[in-house]
Structure 1
Amino acid sequence: MNTTFDESIGLNTSHTIRNVIRYLTVHLKEFDLTPEQWTVLKRLAANDGISQKTLAELADKDQPTVTRILDILERKNLISKKKNVDDRRSFLIHITEKGKNVQQELTPFIEDVFENQILKGIPEEKLEVYKEVLQLINQNMRDRTD
């Protein structure tokens, strides 16, 4: 029986993404963060003091989703919002000391989860091919939508 690309690539990709997110959700629970919150916090740590729009682009999330995540991160005292003096309609987002501490603690933890659990037993050369293929797929889709 021949499987279609929709099943062999599309379904497997979707299934893998859901499994990784579910797995990370369980492991991030002890830090009181979700994978989405972690993604935003990590991008902000590397680009402190940026606009919400820029942060949304860097985190590859839509603006309403980032707004919701930022509200949660602000309640947890991991980020702060300050008026943008150059554009009074927008805010600049800053990571707090507590946010920096969480990010610094979580980065090696997440790397360990990926290296020793999610990617365990997969040779480096296969991971390189996997990353190259993902980049090509994403480029193909960008070329079609731009």
Structure 2
Amino acid sequence: MNYSNHNLLHLLNQSVRLMNQRMNEKLKEYDLYTSQWAIIYCLHKNGPMTLTDIWQYMNVEAPTVTRTVKRLEEKGWLSRKPGTDKRQRIVHIADNAKDEVSRLADIIRSYEDEQLFHLSTEEENQLRQLLEHITSNK
């Protein structure tokens, strides 16, 4: 077996690391990191969710999501409201942060376009389909 041809995971990891570093630079003025933006985006895309729904969707450990949501709540990005069950709390984008989240989503979309500009539309669609296929096989 020729291991030099088996570097796909390494390339994926390096690509994600580089893109996250660059994205952190974009998020710096908002006092956010990519891991925090991931949760905000999850709620922006899916609407209000429980903590359990968030960590299951993101495939991240529950304590990590709980800590990050707490920080984002303290920063004014998120709020938690009671759910139907007294123990359940529903996480929302804070009312006063909704416009800012929409603006930030546009900035991130532009950043994504910058990072993928060298791909044709067909290549970008292929990449998206392949990544969705990989992540759907959890």
1:50: which partner in 2?
49
- 1:92 corresponds, among 90, 93, 98, to 90
Structure 1 unpaired stretches of 5+: none
1:127 aligns with 2:124: yes
Displacement, 1:131?
1.9
1:66: which partner in 2?
65
CA distance in 1, matches of 2:17, 2:51: 26
Structure 2 unpaired stretches of 5+: none
Displacement, 1:124?
1.1
Q: CA RMSD in A?
A: 1.8
| Aligned residue runs from structure 1 range 133-144, under 5 A | 133-139=130-136, 141-142=137-138
Displacement, 1:64?
1.1
TM-score if structure 1 supplies the norm length? 0.82
TM-score if structure 2 supplies the norm length? 0.87
CA distance in 2, matches of 1:104, 1:57: 24
Corresponding pairs, count? 136
Structure 1 residues 128 and 100, CA gap change in structure 2 (3 angstroms): same
Aligned-residue identity in percent = 24
Structure 1 residues 13 and 108, CA gap change in structure 2 (3 angstroms): same
Query: Does 98-107 or 129-138 show the bigger shift?
Result: 129-138
